Amino acid sequence: MNDTIRNELISAVGFDLPETNWKIRLIDEIRYLLEHDFHKLISILYRMDVSEGKLRGLLQELPDADAAELIAGMMLERVAQRQQTKTAFKQPRPEDDHEEKW
């Protein structure tokens, strides 16, 4: 599942996450965006549908925690939720259906 989550994050955030230490790279990129391109970070979080209220509450609840780590955790949680939803609603493809698919 980690590869699935990693690939989903890559498409959502728009930058590569290496095979190894990709969570560290994600946190580093979020830290960079917090300091240098906050608007882009907000855009990424919006596209990923990360709950603004939940994230804001978490940041207020844990003011001494590393914000980049908290944001990365929320992003990972959201991607995992999306994967669970896809799995739950995925319809099996009929084996005997020879009709051309578009």
Does residue 51 sit within a domain?
yes
pLDDT score, position 1? 44
Does 31 reside within a domain? Answer: yes
Answer yes or no: is 40 within a domain. Answer: yes
Confidence tier at 2 by pLDDT (50, 70, 90): low
- Overall size of the chain counted in residues: 102
97 falls within a domain: no
Per-residue pLDDT of 40-96, as tens digits, reads: 999 999 988 998 899 999 999 999 999 999 999 999 888 888 877 777 777 666 665
Range of the domain at 46: 2-13+20-89
What is the 8-class DSSP label of residue 50? -
Give the residue with greater pLDDT, 61 vs 98: 61
Query: What gap in Å lies between CA 102 and CA 22, rounded to an integer?
Result: 35
pLDDT digits (tens, 9 = 90+) for 19-50: 778 888 889 999 999 999 999 999 999 988 99
pLDDT score at 35:
95
Pairwise CA distance, residues 20 & 48, whole Å: 23
High-pLDDT (> 70) share of the chain, %: 86
**Residue 84 vs residues 56, 75, 81, 95: alpha-carbon distances, Å:** 24, 14, 5, 24
Distance CA 93, CA 91 (A): 6
Instruction: Tokens for 63, please give them.
Output: 């003011």
Structural domains in the chain (count):
1
